[in-house]
Amino acid sequence: MANSAQAQKLVYLVTGGCGFLGEHVVRMLLQQEPRLRELRIFDLHLGPWVDELKTGPVQVTAIQGDVTQAHEVAAAMDGAHVVIHIAGLVDVFGRASPKTIHEVNVQGTQNVIEACVQTGTQFLVYTSSMEVVGPNIKGHPFYRGNEDTPYEAVHKHPYPRSKALAERLVLEANGRKVRGGLPLVTCALRPTGIYGEGHQIMRDFYHQGLRLGGRLFRAIPTSVEHGRVYVGNVAWMHVLVARELEQRAALMGGQVYFCYDRSPYKSYEDFNMEFLGPCGLRLVGARPLLPYWLLVLLATLNALLQWLLRPLLLYAPLLNPYTLAVANTTFTVSTNKAQRHFGYEPLFSWEDSRTRTIRWVQALESSAQ
């Protein structure tokens, strides 16, 4: 992909290009990939901001489509060199049914793979998740682990199960012959908890804090570390992987990479306070205010209420047995595999990532007034 004959010749397709991560990947590609001729943004819901991108030198094509519809995916992919498959149903709150999660995350990914084969698209980058590994339902800590750290991955929840199945499909597809006879080259990126501008759960915590008079209440011990990575660095990793996949196909094909940067290891709540604190919120309690058994009870009650109310309304609070288990289990990565395989270094320092995220939360504050 890197030779000069191909300068400004490449066609990229980004599925889920209008989501939280997808938008950052789209903008990063336009800034950092000089060989782009056309960028296709494929999403179920197209954002209004996409039109603003159409005035630059790269042809930006917005395609409203559904990854569960094989013909829509194949039509969008025709003539693309690289596909970055980000689209997914991110639901750990019970908003969507397990069947829908499977259809979007697993069948949708299968459709992307088949479309590669059918149309001759040779490079596929898949956005997987740390949840493909864990935390597992047994609450085993994964402390500063890397891609080779042994861990008992047990998936009961539909979301991690779907991501694990989809990741496997992508990795197994590496080497399949695509139209024209060349081998498909695939790899998967596994972000930990992504944060940054546009992060819906951060927005929810911020608004919850405002409703509670500027306070949030500690529920998780400070000793439980949760891996986090800045969205700009995750986007940068996607751009680099897509760029390097052809030149380093033998090394990178069929591989998985955790997404990492220099964000500090902290508990989920303490980490959020890095941004919410400077915006006026306070985390009350040096230790969890409620005993863990009571949180488990509340989470179970929420799950029961969700089930009882489902015929009438969608009750999907942040706290449920699964989110509590994830928040309460140490899961952090420490690896340099991406640096070794394709020269990745974070584009944004921790200070930049923090400042950018704080500015975004502050803008939420002013837009709410």
Ligand X SMILES: C[C@@H](CO)CCC[C@@H](C)[C@H]1CC[C@H]2[C@@H]3[C@H](O)C=C4C[C@@H](O)CC[C@]4(C)[C@H]3CC[C@]12C
Ligand Y SMILES: NC(=O)c1ccc[n+]([C@@H]2O[C@H](COP(=O)([O-])OP(=O)(O)OC[C@H]3O[C@@H](n4cnc5c(N)ncnc54)[C@H](O)[C@@H]3O)[C@@H](O)[C@H]2O)c1
The count of residues interacting with ligand Y (CB under 6 A) is 26
Is 126 annotated as catalytic? no
CB of 33 to ligand X, least distance (A): 25
Show Cβ contacts of residue 142 under 8 Å, excluding neighbours closer than 6 positions. 133, 134, 135, 149, 151, 329, 330, 331, 332, 333
Closer of 250 and 286 to ligand X (Cβ): 286
Does residue 92 bind ligand X (CB under 6 A)?
yes
Does residue 145 bind ligand Y (CB under 6 A)?
no
Closer of 127 and 255 to ligand Y (Cβ): 127
**Consecutive H or E run containing 305:** helix 292-309
Does residue 90 bind ligand X (CB under 6 A)?
yes
In whole angstroms, give the CA distance from residue 67 to residue 76. Answer: 10
Does residue 330 bind ligand Y (CB under 6 A)?
no
**What are the backbone dihedrals phi and psi of residue 127, each rounded to the nearest 5 degrees, phi first?**
-85, 105
Does residue 124 bind ligand X (CB under 6 A)?
no
Does residue 109 bind ligand Y (CB under 6 A)?
no
Tokens read off for 165 = 């199945």
In whole angstroms, give the CA distance from residue 238 to residue 256. Answer: 12
For residues 299-338, which are near ligand X according to CB under 6 A? 318-319, 323-324, 326-327
Q: How many beta carbons lie within 10 A of that of residue 200, not counting itself?
A: 10
The residue whose two tokens read 């969700």 is: 306
CB of 10 to ligand X, least distance (A): 28
Q: Cα-atom radius of gyration of the chain, to the nearest Å? A: 21
Closer of 117 and 350 to ligand X (Cβ): 350
The span of 150-158, 190-198, 246-254, 289-297 binding ligand Y (CB under 6 A) equals 190-198
268 binds, among ligand Y, ligand X, none (CB under 5 to 8 A by kind): ligand X
| Max CA pair span of the chain | 64
Does residue 18 bind ligand Y (CB under 6 A)?
yes
Does residue 20 bind ligand Y (CB under 6 A)?
yes
In the DSSP assignment, the letter for residue 104 is I
Closest CA to 123 of 255, 10, 246: 246
Does residue 156 bind ligand Y (CB under 6 A)?
no
In whole angstroms, give the CA distance from residue 267 to residue 228. Answer: 10
Show Cβ contacts of residue 108 under 8 Å, excluding neighbours closer than 6 positions. 15, 67, 68, 73, 87, 88, 166
CB of 92 to ligand X, least distance (A): 5
Please select the residue that binds ligand Y; options are 10, 28, 104, 245, rule is CB under 6 A.
104
**What are the backbone dihedrals phi and psi of residue 132, each rounded to the nearest 5 degrees, phi first?**
-65, -30
Please select the residue that binds ligand Y; options are 145, 160, 191, 196, rule is CB under 6 A.
191
Q: How many secondary structure helices (H) and strands (E) does the chain include?
A: 13, 13
User: Per-residue contact track with ligand Y, 27 to 66, x per CB under 6 A?
Assistant: ----------------xxx--------------------x
323 binds, among ligand X, ligand Y, none (CB under 5 to 8 A by kind): ligand X
Q: Give the footprint of ligand X on this chain (CB under 6 A).
A: 90, 92, 129-131, 193, 201, 219-220, 268-269, 318-319, 323-324, 326-327
Residue numbers at the binding site for ligand Y (CB under 6 A): 15-16, 18-22, 43-45, 66-68, 86-90, 104, 108, 127, 129, 163, 191, 193-194
For the annotated catalytic residues, the residue numbers are 159
